[in-house]
Amino acid sequence: MSAYIARRILLMIPTLLGILFVSFVVVQFAPGGPVERVIAQLSGADTGGTSRISGGGDFAQRAPGQVGAGGDAINSKYRGAQGLDPDFIKKLEAQFGFDKPAPERFALMVWNFARFDFGKSYFRDVSVLQLIKEKLPVSISLGLWLTLITYLISIPLGIRKAVKDGTRFDTWTSTVLVLGYAIPGFLFAILLIILFAGGSFFNWFPLRGLTSDGWSQFPWYWKIVDYFWHLTLPLIAMGLGAFTTMTFLTKNSFLDEIRKQYVMTARAKGCSEGRVLYGHVFRNAMLIVIAGFPGTFIHAFFSGSLLIETIFSLDGLGLLSFESVLNRDYPVVFGTLYIFSLVGLVINLISDLTYMWIDPRIDFEAREV
């Protein structure tokens, strides 16, 4: 077991390096950048960002209107930089770390990330790690509650479908699940806003945030009500297609167990159907479902969070990542990518270990990693 865990942890290192390297290379060829963002804001041409840039003001006050000798060659790298002092451009590059060659910047980023030093946001006066800590509770809330609701609905429904396999109930529920899985969550979120959040019909649910103004002053019971009131529409939008996989997994697990010899033996001994189903089949069929809980949570944590958080203005990691990409805030972009990747790899390891713990017949050490 320890050897298997050690191998998996060692494999995480090249995986993380590969993810960071590919992302870093893509960013080098992507149009725009933090220097261009500041230049665009100084010239009044920027319309794409969502966060206020801080730190460019001092440069703006020192940016003369004429280009010095050799300025055209320096400024030709940046669209809209014509007419700015080349020394000002060099200071911008130094501020954002672009005065160093790309290999050196990548090596420095890897070294810092290995020590969980993600630096500071380009355009916010706060460290990346602090930003992630502030936004993490929102994303965890969405992922945790979606996972719990998925299990509470999918497991009973999957058992029922297994018992009623081939009947009209099984057919129409499968149709509904497949349709729900096919509908994009963000489109359904927009429909929910139109119907129930003051879009065109009813104004029953709030449109933004996880709590109302003055939430800290509410009685404890009203805090709970207000919290779930804000969560209702985002969870419905995210959960539309979340039940399909777990429901069919539960159904197929039960069908596989129901057909085994020990079930027929139990029935031959006169055990009731409920006793057979929940006393024998349930314990064995649920092994794979329970073992998949960590993976289900991380899937709920990631899937659709970016668009759902953006649509409902939930200040979580998804919205933070989206705004950071728009603003070319690379420390935040790479920092959140690193955290997402690391958490995903760790959760995958935990899922495999859970399988081994629940079902001793599974032995990952006996096979090549």
Give the model confidence (pLDDT) of 314-351 as tens digits: 888 878 888 888 888 888 888 888 888 888 888 878 87
Worst-scoring range by mean pLDDT, 16-25, 155-164, 301-310, 326-335?
Answer: 301-310
CB of 200 within 8 A of CB of 278?
no
As a whole number of angstroms, the distance between CA 101 and CA 99 comes to 7
Q: What is the pTM of this model?
A: 0.71
In the predicted structure, residue 72 carries a pLDDT above the cut 60: no
Domain contains 79: yes
Q: Which of 127, 162, 189 is the last residue of a domain?
A: 127
CB of 23 within 8 A of CB of 331?
no
Q: Which of 127, 153, 183 is the last residue of a domain?
A: 127
How many angstroms from the chain centroid is the CA of residue 233?
A: 18
Model confidence at 193, pLDDT cuts 50, 70, 90, reads: confident
If asked whether residues 91 and 180 sit together in one domain, one would say no
| Average pLDDT of the segment spanning 266-289 | 77
Q: Which residue has the higher pLDDT, 141 or 29?
A: 141
CB of 123 within 8 A of CB of 327?
yes
- CA-based torsion, 27, 29, 30, 31: positive or negative: positive
As a whole number of angstroms, the distance between CA 257 and CA 240 comes to 28
Q: Which of 332, 329, 328 shows the shortest CA–CA distance to 130?
A: 332
As a whole number of angstroms, the distance between CA 309 and CA 238 comes to 10
If asked whether residues 161 and 213 sit together in one domain, one would say yes
Write out the residue range of the structural domain in which residue 294 sits.
Answer: 129-366
CB of 230 within 8 A of CB of 210?
yes
Structure tokens at 59: 């440069």
| Average pLDDT of the segment spanning 205-216 | 81
Residue 205: per-residue pLDDT:
86
Structure tokens at 76: 């030709």
Give the count of beta carbons closer than 10 Å to the beta carbon of residue 362. Answer: 15
In the predicted structure, residue 143 carries a pLDDT above the cut 60: yes
The count of domains in the chain is 2
Q: Which of 99, 127, 155 is the last residue of a domain?
A: 127
Residue 303: per-residue pLDDT:
60
- Dihedral of the CA atoms 166, 169, 170, 176 (nearest 10)? 150
Residue 76: per-residue pLDDT:
52
Q: Which residues contact 113 (CB under 8 A, 6 or more apart)?
A: 20, 334, 335, 338
In the predicted structure, residue 279 carries a pLDDT above the cut 90: no
Worst-scoring range by mean pLDDT, 85-99, 165-179, 185-199, 355-369?
Answer: 355-369
If asked whether residues 250 and 116 sit together in one domain, one would say no
Model confidence at 270, pLDDT cuts 50, 70, 90, reads: confident
Give the count of beta carbons closer than 10 Å to the beta carbon of residue 191. Answer: 13
